[in-house]
Structure 1
Amino acid sequence: MVAKIIIGKKLRGALQYNENKVLEGQADLLLASGFAGDVDQMNFHQRLQRFENLMMLKPSVKTNTLHISLNFDAVEKMDDATLQRIAIAYMDKIGFGDQPYLAYRHHDAAHDHVHLVTTNIQANGEAINLHNIGLLKSKKAREEIEVEFNLVKAKGKQYKPDPAIKPVNLEKALYGKTPTKRAISNTVNGVISSYKYASIAELNAILKQFNVIAERGAEDTAMFQKKGLVYSLLNEHGNKVGISIKSSSLYTKPTLTYLEKQFIQHKENRQEFKPALKTRIDTVLNTGKYNEQTFTEALKKQGIAVLFRRSDGGQIYGITFVDHQSKTVFNGSDLGKRYTAKTLTDQFKQGYPLLMAKSNPQQRTDNNRLSNNYKQDQIKFSANPLEALLKPTQENGSFLPKRKRRKKKKISI
């Protein structure tokens, strides 16, 4: 189980997000705790009023909203009663069992997930401390619940995360079945709360997977100079459609100022996921001959999306990897020389896996330029390094001659 926590100042927005999902048929009200009367008969404003009555007791506390999503492995299929028990146990363990809260079961992803909405203002007018609640309370609660309910552990090797975001249904959005603003908001909120990115370009590499793009406008425009940002829908050809929505009008306020703070944090905390991503890419590179299309398809099976950046003339000048498993994004150059657009496109032309190319005399000059670290990584990340190194390289049906081993010179000291 993975628990994701959003701490904010707009409970109305958090509640509205979930209520809109219910109206769209993508969620159901699973549980209402601390509500007098039949909550099913209450409208949005009546449900909101329950929280606002508490928040008015402590108006000096502006950060008064807790929006949590509990996400389960795709192999786990649970009934409503089980999810209710998990939600109750989790809220009790993080100290919110006596607070009024609403739990919604969402159906907009392949895996089960529950959203919880509450306030930290108590009936006595005191506020529950939200500082570092994820590490101090949620982590322990999650681990205990994983054991209690026999759930797939988030840190276990068997955990198979599944994207909690689905591409915007353009037909529904453009023809009024789902308002454009709501469609964009759902996607943007899901991405910025889940993925790690270090620039607008990297954020867009993720958003484009879900038919959305963020734009600052041309550098000579007032919007760019004032650090404005808008979000738009994309069609299947990657072209903008419909109206653009200002970032400041969305629920989580994903403005450029907010995102720039995220860039700094994400650039550092995504580093731990880099080795595993490189390993999975290497697994593909070392096991077959690829061109751009087959390489992209092979990585897709690994949960990695590949985006080639092209000039106006169609020339590839960059590559970006979006890892939907670790929810991170890296440019090829961030991973190392082996993963740059130039190295990969050159390799596509030659038609050999990189590990095989190492034994090809024609590639010896290029390979000598690689760092010692790269060579070590190449062997370390191979699925079967010994077999790969011992296996002779074949070209056009004939084996290449073995290289003569140079005698080491003895040095007397």
Structure 2
Amino acid sequence: MVARINAGKSLRNALHYNENKVRQSAAVLIHSKNFAKDTGELKLTDKLGTLQHFAAQNERTKVNSVHISLNFDPSEKLDKETLQSIADSYMQKIGFGDQPYLVYNHSDASHPHIHIVTTNIKRNGKRIELHNIGKNQSEKARKQIEKDFNLIRADSKQRQQIYDIKPVNAEKVIYGKNAASGTKRAITNVLDSVLPKYKYTSLPELNAVLRQYNIIADQGSKESRIYKSGGLVYRVLNTAGDKVGVPIPASHIYNKPTLKHLEQNFQKNQVARRPHMQRVRNAIDYTLATKGRITIDQLQNYLQKERISLVIRQNAQGIIYGLTYVDHKTQSVFNGSDLGKPYNANQLQQRIQQIPIIQQQKPQLTNKDNISSTNDTTLSNTLKGAIDLVFEVEKETSPLAEFDERKKKKRKRLFH
């Protein structure tokens, strides 16, 4: 199970988001707690009125809306009663058991998930502290609930992407009924999975990920009104990579993934992605050292097996001018130049051209001690360097490395 908590300033927006899903037959209200009426009898005015009544007890606190989603593995089939029990258990464990809250079961993604709308203002006007609630109370609650309900553990996936995001089918969302709402829903599903997970530091890097799901974040041309006002729209792409359908302004999407919001992510991701650079370098070096003379398209295929997508940018003449690496295992995005000169478009193409061909036939050995040709030696050194690099990184991050260093220092002291 994966839990996400979003705090905001508008109870109305959080409630309307879920109520709109109900109207679109993409969600169902399955549970409510601490309301004056039973769930089936609640009208929109009852829901909003109760939440706002609690929030009104503390007008100094502007952040009074809490919107939670609990996400489950696609293989889990959870009935209504189980989802109700999970919601109650979670809310109790994070300190919201006495708050009014609404539980919606959503069916608009490839995995089962529920949304919970509540307020952090108590009946007596005191507020429930939200600082670090995700790391502390929520994380403890998640682990306990996984045990209590025998759910698939989120951390058992070893930081892999837990749920599959399906690429948007342009024809379905554009030419189906309710094209605008269908497009918005499809885009939102992708953004909800990509934006909080992947570590990108620019709009082109984000688009390197989004394009794989037939979505793009578009500022427009430099002369356009959108670009000049710092705006951003999201578009669906067809199989040819062309923008089609209705553009959806970022401000119209839940969580408002505007350019200003994304730029905050750019800053924080600069640091967050740094530990994962070496994995991508190692994968490239190892592939080039072991596969012989290959094309860049073949390199792309080999890296894909390591869950690294190589996004190639080329002009109308077919000349490659840029490379972006999307590591889906660590969910990190890098331009070639970010990894260092050997990994940018120009240098990488030169490296590919200079790699010797691996000999397919066994050489005729005339001297038992002399078993390597010049090319074999070159390749062997390259391969050894790549493998040494892998073990060097592992050693740096291994607790045994620190232990070995302590042993060396201790041994030195014994001989002084």
User: Normalising by the residue count of structure 1, what TM-score does the alignment of the two structures yield?
Assistant: 0.76
AA aligned to 1:177 is: N
Aligned equivalent of 1:246: 249
Aligned-pair distance for 1:155? 3.1
Aligned equivalent of 2:389: 377
Aligned equivalent of 1:62: 62
The 2-side partners of 1:182 and 1:11 are apart by: 21
> How many residues are matched?
378
Aligned equivalent of 2:178: 177
The 2-side partners of 1:287 and 1:373 are apart by: 12
Specify the SS of the correspondent of 1:208: helix
**Contact kept? 1:212, 1:233, Cα under 8 Å:** yes
Specify the SS of the correspondent of 1:245: strand
1:334 aligns with 2:335: no
**Contact kept? 2:278, 2:393, Cα under 8 Å:** no
Specify the SS of the correspondent of 2:200: coil
Aligned equivalent of 1:131: 131
Aligned-pair distance for 1:277? 5.3
Aligned-pair distance for 1:237? 1.4
Cα distance change, pair 240–367 in 1 and its aligned pair in 2 (3 A): farther
**Contact kept? 1:34, 1:101, Cα under 8 Å:** yes
The 2-side partners of 1:152 and 1:24 are apart by: 29
The 2-side partners of 1:242 and 1:124 are apart by: 49
Cα distance change, pair 223–160 in 1 and its aligned pair in 2 (3 A): closer
Residues 182-225 of structure 1 show CA distances to partners (whole Å, capped at 9, x for unaligned) of 44344334432333211111111122223221122333455434
1:270 to 256, 263, 273: 273
* 210-219 vs 334-343, greater mean Cα deviation: 334-343
**Contact kept? 1:74, 1:160, Cα under 8 Å:** no
Residues 226-272 of structure 1 show CA distances to partners (whole Å, capped at 9, x for unaligned) of 32222222222111112323323333222222211111011112334
AA aligned to 1:313 is: Q
The 1-side partners of 2:314 and 2:301 are apart by: 19
2:323 to 319, 333, 348: 319
Aligned equivalent of 1:394: none
Alignment of 1:304-315 (within 5 A): 304-315=308-319
Cα distance change, pair 351–40 in 1 and its aligned pair in 2 (3 A): farther
The 2-side partners of 1:201 and 1:313 are apart by: 21
Specify the SS of the correspondent of 2:154: coil
Aligned-pair distance for 1:367? 10
Cα distance change, pair 75–295 in 1 and its aligned pair in 2 (3 A): farther
The 2-side partners of 1:165 and 1:9 are apart by: 29
**Contact kept? 1:218, 1:224, Cα under 8 Å:** yes
The 2-side partners of 1:60 and 1:269 are apart by: 34
**Contact kept? 1:73, 1:160, Cα under 8 Å:** no
Residues 47-76 of structure 1 show CA distances to partners (whole Å, capped at 9, x for unaligned) of 333322322333332212222222334444
**Contact kept? 1:109, 1:164, Cα under 8 Å:** no
Cα distance change, pair 140–311 in 1 and its aligned pair in 2 (3 A): same
* 227-236 vs 262-271, greater mean Cα deviation: 227-236
2:232 to 229, 234, 237: 229
Aligned equivalent of 1:18: 18
Aligned equivalent of 2:140: 140
The 2-side partners of 1:40 and 1:298 are apart by: 54
**Contact kept? 1:39, 1:47, Cα under 8 Å:** no
Aligned equivalent of 1:107: 107
**Identity score, percent:** 44
The 2-side partners of 1:292 and 1:40 are apart by: 59
* 155-164 vs 92-101, greater mean Cα deviation: 155-164
The 2-side partners of 1:200 and 1:360 are apart by: 47
Aligned equivalent of 1:197: 200
RMSD: 3.8
Residues 98-152 of structure 1 show CA distances to partners (whole Å, capped at 9, x for unaligned) of 1122223333444333322221122222221112211232122223333333444
AA aligned to 1:68 is: I
The 2-side partners of 1:84 and 1:109 are apart by: 19
User: Normalising by the residue count of structure 2, what TM-score does the alignment of the two structures yield?
Assistant: 0.75
**Contact kept? 1:211, 1:238, Cα under 8 Å:** yes
Higher helix share: 2
* 126-135 vs 97-106, greater mean Cα deviation: 97-106
Cα distance change, pair 55–321 in 1 and its aligned pair in 2 (3 A): same
